[in-house]
Amino acid sequence: MADARVRPLIELAKWRTREFLRQPEAMFWVFAFPILLAFALGIAFQNRGAQTVHVVVEQGLNADALVETLIAAGGIEASVLAADEAQNALRTGRVPLVVVPGETLVFRYDSTREESLLARLVTNDALQRAEGRSDVRAVRNLGTSEPGARYIDFLIPGLLGLNIMGTGMWGVGFSIVRTRTQKLLKRFVATPMRKSHFLLGYMLSRLVFLVAEVAALVAFGHFVFGVPVRGSILALSVVSLLGALAFAGIGVLVASRAQTIEGVSGMMNLVMVPMWVLSGVFFSAAAFPDAMQPVIQALPLTALNDALRAVLLDGASLFALTGWLAILALWCVGSFGVALKIFRWS
Amino acid sequence: MSTPAVNCKGLVKRYGDVVAVDGLDLEIRVGECFGLLGPNGAGKTTTVEILQGLLPPDAGSVEVLGMRWENQERSLRERMGTQLQDTQLPDKLSVVEVLTLFRSFYRAGRPVEDVIDMVQLREKRDVWVKNLSGGQRQRLSVACSLVSDPEILFLDEPTTGLDPQSRHQLWRIIGDFRAGGGTILLTTHHMEEAERLCDRVAVIDHGKVIAQGSPRALIESLGAEHVVQFALANGDSIDHATLGSLPGVERVSAVDGRTQLTVMHVHEAVPALMTLLQQRRAELSELTTHHATLEDVFISLTGRHLRDG
């Protein structure tokens, strides 16, 4: 009877699901935390309309006239400060640039600060134009703040990938080791339970929560910050599923020999922390040197994040995702294969 | 003769340099309750784990219900029940949920609700494991082994750490299983438990069987029914030959600074002992007498108490 054969699997998955649902702190980390993080970062990096540059003019001859000129140019906030105060403001980073009036204007700024360089260019441009300089080449400015190109649009898929990694690794790896330290694993092995059912039960219950956690974060990004969902739900589901399976596999692998909770926690962090940094969660993985790129691109979280961004932001079809999906599938099969070989059942 | 429930020969298990089981033979008959009695570290747990196919032995052969672990593991697991030491059942599952989970692993077995009644957890049916008392948890642990309606039950120190009432409740469950025709192998370092429950016991020390038989026969092998134990003030002692010549004294041994006499009749031995002590002007600091128990068997075999390990 097919029903009787899958019953242990269903019961094991029910066990995992119940343990998770009955643990409020786990629910917090899986559902609330990523949304809070997305909210905080979304607010912090919100686009505040057109950017303005703050400039200070040192007290002196014609200082007030300079301020007026700068303000009239647009996009610049300027004020007059006494010499020592102006110097102080520059030194502590409160203003990026100080203009010292005189026959020859002096720009004081920190040449290693991007903001200062920008302020110098804008200020210089405004003052030269006011004195009659004109452009020799016609340009047209088209500013953009379209959904899909903002930081929050970059961030939400990254957080989604991060969450799938975290819940997969912790949810599977951590609780397998707990089962082992509680001698429950040994007790299960003393029954006719199939070992494959034990591991599959973990996967199955993971999938239940996967649907909920992906839906929650994507919906939050979409309705609160207008993050686009341009690809199909099918493509999003396939990417999330394969990502979750890859990290569940890595979770099983990390847990396969560990005898203590401390041991597995250390291993988890060893595996996950490099990917937080390297895999393009908070900033693009392209920021790292070319020599590192082959390694970075082969990491499961990089593949997952890139695929998620392609689906959500670019509306990529499943076909266009083949490369990333292949990387995730390889991680899944490879880690499971090795884990099953070395798994410690007692 | 019918196939024994458990038959193992020449069992050896080493952990590095430590020999946990050292050439152990056991034969357990179908339908009996068999006890492995010994101090902590004697090799009891290692032995039962080998018998249950949870640890591979370094040498020796194991047959359970006429089957071998190497080629019939699954059918064997279907027919046995087990309770291990220190298993923590899932904290946040209820009694019925835990039993349903364990029941699902077996092709055939008892209905979960029946097992709940058997172990008297009816009122706790929907209570989480973490809210059960120690005794209730232990009953649940045994219940997990009963859902398969097993032919043989392995119980490793089932009552260790339980209060007397919980211990008696478990004894009743074990007794019921035995009365239903089941075979039981249990380990314990609690001699009253062994005397009460077991048809036969094997006394184990340093990984070997040092005595085997029914509790009655083992106690009778002491040659006398009572034990008189005494100690003298100032650490004085009396030579064993003199004590051995007192009326009815079968055996003299020294344990933990006390002297122990195994005697036929207390009313003969004690007055004679008193007279002797008076003659020697020795002052008594302690004197107790009791019916001989398996503990005394162990002491007379090893010179140590069961609990000392």
Backbone angles phi, psi at A120, to 5 degrees: -65, -45
| Cβ atoms within 10 Å, residue B34 | 24
| Cβ atoms within 10 Å, residue B280 | 12
Q: What is the pLDDT of residue A1?
A: 45
Backbone angles phi, psi at B221, to 5 degrees: -65, -15
The whole-chain average pLDDT of chain A stands at 88
| Cβ atoms within 10 Å, residue B159 | 23
Say whether pLDDT at A287 is over 50. yes
Structure confidence at residue A289 as a pLDDT band (50, 70, 90): very high
B146 min Cα distance to partner chain A (Å): 11
- The verdict on A192 touching B (C-beta cutoff 8 Å) is yes
Say whether pLDDT at A242 is over 90. yes
Cβ <8 Å between A193 and B54? no
Q: How far apart are CA B86 and CA B109, in angstroms?
A: 25
Q: How far apart are CA A272 and CA A301, in angstroms?
A: 9
| CB A71 within 8 Å of CB A77 | yes
Q: Do A116 and A131 sit in the same domain of this protein? A: yes
Predicted TM-score (pTM) of this structure: 0.80
For residue B91, what is the nearest residue in chain A, using CA coordinates?
A: A19
What strands lie across the sheet with B59-64, from one edge to the other?
B18-28, B6-15, B59-64
| CB A243 within 8 Å of CB A328 | yes
Q: How far apart are CA B144 and CA B168, in angstroms?
A: 19
| CB A16 within 8 Å of CB A175 | yes
Q: Please report residues of B whose CB lies closer than 8 A to that of A19.
A: 90-93
Say whether pLDDT at A49 is over 60. no
Q: Which helix (H) or strand (E) holds A124?
A: helix A114-130
Count of structural domains within chain A: 2
| CB B233 within 8 Å of CB B272 | no
- The verdict on A1 touching B (C-beta cutoff 8 Å) is no
Cβ contacts of residue B297 below 8 Å, gap of 6+?
B203, B211, B218, B219, B221, B222
Q: How far apart are CA B144 and CA B125, in angstroms?
A: 13
Cβ contacts of residue A138 below 8 Å, gap of 6+?
none
For residue B85, what is the nearest residue in chain A, using CA coordinates?
A: A183
Cβ contacts of residue A314 below 8 Å, gap of 6+?
A230, A231
- 3-class state of residue A79 by DSSP: strand
Residues A146-161: pLDDT tens digits? 666 788 888 899 999 9
- Residue A37 falls inside a structural domain: no
Q: Do A241 and A195 sit in the same domain of this protein? A: yes
Q: What is the pLDDT of residue B309?
A: 42
- The verdict on A88 touching B (C-beta cutoff 8 Å) is no
For residue A194, what is the nearest residue in chain B, using CA coordinates?
A: B105
Token reading at B305: 């108490």
Cβ <8 Å between A192 and B100? no
Q: Do A167 and A134 sit in the same domain of this protein? A: no
Cβ <8 Å between A19 and B107? no
Last residue of a domain, one of A121, A144, A167: A144
Most B CBs within 10 Å, among A23, A183, A187, to test the B interface: A187
- The verdict on A22 touching B (C-beta cutoff 8 Å) is yes
Q: How far apart are CA B112 and CA B95, in angstroms?
A: 10
Cβ <8 Å between A186 and B90? no
- Residue A25 falls inside a structural domain: no
B contact residues 33-72, partner A, Cβ 8 Å cutoff = 52-55
User: Which of B85, B91, B107 is closest, CB to CB, to A4?
Assistant: B107
Residue-range definition of the domain harbouring residue A94: 53-144
B contact residues 115-174, partner A, Cβ 8 Å cutoff = 144, 148
- Residue A39 falls inside a structural domain: no
Cβ <8 Å between B84 and A187? yes
Last residue of a domain, one of A113, A144, A175: A144
Q: Do A236 and A337 sit in the same domain of this protein? A: yes
Q: Please report residues of A whose CB lies closer than 8 A to that of B147.
A: none
Token reading at A174: 């951590």
- Residue A95 falls inside a structural domain: yes
Cβ <8 Å between B84 and A190? yes
Cβ <8 Å between B87 and A182? yes
Q: Do A231 and A193 sit in the same domain of this protein? A: yes
Say whether pLDDT at A193 is over 60. yes
Backbone angles phi, psi at A281, to 5 degrees: -90, -55
- Residue A40 falls inside a structural domain: no
Average pLDDT for A19-33: 84
| CB A209 within 8 Å of CB A216 | no
| CB A255 within 8 Å of CB A177 | yes
Cβ contacts of residue B125 below 8 Å, gap of 6+?
B94, B95, B96, B116
Residues A308-321: pLDDT tens digits? 999 999 999 999 99
Last residue of a domain, one of A110, A144, A178: A144
User: Which of A15, A190, A193 is closest, CB to CB, to B93?
Assistant: A15
Cβ <8 Å between B93 and A18? yes
Q: What is the pLDDT of residue A146?
A: 66
Q: What is the pLDDT of residue B245?
A: 86
Q: What is the pLDDT of residue B139?
A: 94
- 3-class state of residue A317 by DSSP: coil
Q: How far apart are CA B44 and CA B187, in angstroms?
A: 6
Token reading at A250: 């890595």
Q: Do A229 and A299 sit in the same domain of this protein? A: yes
| CB A313 within 8 Å of CB A157 | yes
Residues A317-339: pLDDT tens digits? 999 999 999 999 999 999 988 99
| CB B43 within 8 Å of CB B29 | no
Q: Do A210 and A314 sit in the same domain of this protein? A: yes
Q: Do A237 and A125 sit in the same domain of this protein? A: no
- The verdict on A294 touching B (C-beta cutoff 8 Å) is no
Q: Please report residues of A whose CB lies closer than 8 A to that of B102.
A: 191
| CB B11 within 8 Å of CB B56 | no
CATH number where A130 lies: 3.40.190
Tens of pLDDT along chain B (309 residues) come to 578 999 999 999 999 888 999 999 999 999 999 999 988 888 899 999 999 999 999 999 999 999 999 999 999 999 999 999 889 999 999 999 999 999 999 999 999 999 999 999 999 999 999 999 999 999 999 999 999 999 999 999 999 888 899 999 999 999 999 999 999 999 988 888 888 899 999 999 889 999 999 998 888 887 778 888 888 887 777 888 888 888 888 888 887 778 888 888 888 888 989 998 888 888 888 898 888 888 888 887 877 776 654
Q: What is the pLDDT of residue A50?
A: 60
Token reading at A205: 């219950």
User: Which of A7, A19, A346 is closest, CB to CB, to B54?
Assistant: A346
For residue A12, what is the nearest residue in chain B, using CA coordinates?
A: B101
- The verdict on B107 touching A (C-beta cutoff 8 Å) is yes
Q: Do A161 and A125 sit in the same domain of this protein? A: no
Cβ contacts of residue A140 below 8 Å, gap of 6+?
none
- Residue A247 falls inside a structural domain: yes
Backbone angles phi, psi at A265, to 5 degrees: -65, -45
Most B CBs within 10 Å, among A191, A198, A344, to test the B interface: A191
Cβ <8 Å between B82 and A12? no
Q: Do A164 and A124 sit in the same domain of this protein? A: no
Q: Do A308 and A187 sit in the same domain of this protein? A: yes
Q: Do A109 and A233 sit in the same domain of this protein? A: no
Burial A196-210 (b: 16+ CB within 10 A, else e): ebbbbbbbbbbeebb
The 3-state secondary structure of chain B, one letter per residue: CCCCCEEEEEEEEEECCEEEEEEEEEEECCCCEEEEECCCCCCHHHHHHHHCCCCCCCEEEEEECCECHHHHHHHHHHHEEEECCCCCCCCCCEHHHHHHHHHHCCCCCCCHHHHHHHCCCHHHCCCEHHHCCHHHHHHHHHHHHHCCCCCEEEEECCCCCCCHHHHHHHHHHHHHHHHCCCEEEEEECCHHHHHHHCCEEEEEECCEEEEEECHHHHHHCCCCCEEEEEEEHHHCCCCHHHHHCCCCEEEEEEECCEEEEEECCHHHHHHHHHHHHHHHCCCEEEEEEEECCHHHHHHHHHCCCCCCC
Alpha carbon B277 to chain centroid, angstroms: 38
- Residue A284 falls inside a structural domain: yes
Residues B75-87: pLDDT tens digits? 999 999 999 988 9
Kindly provide the residue ranges of all beta strands, DSSP E only, lying in chain A, ordered along the sequence.
Answer: 53-58, 76-81, 97-100, 106-109
Q: Please report residues of A whose CB lies closer than 8 A to that of B89.
A: 184
- Residue A42 falls inside a structural domain: no
The dihedral through the CA atoms of A59, A64, A66, A72 has a sign that is positive
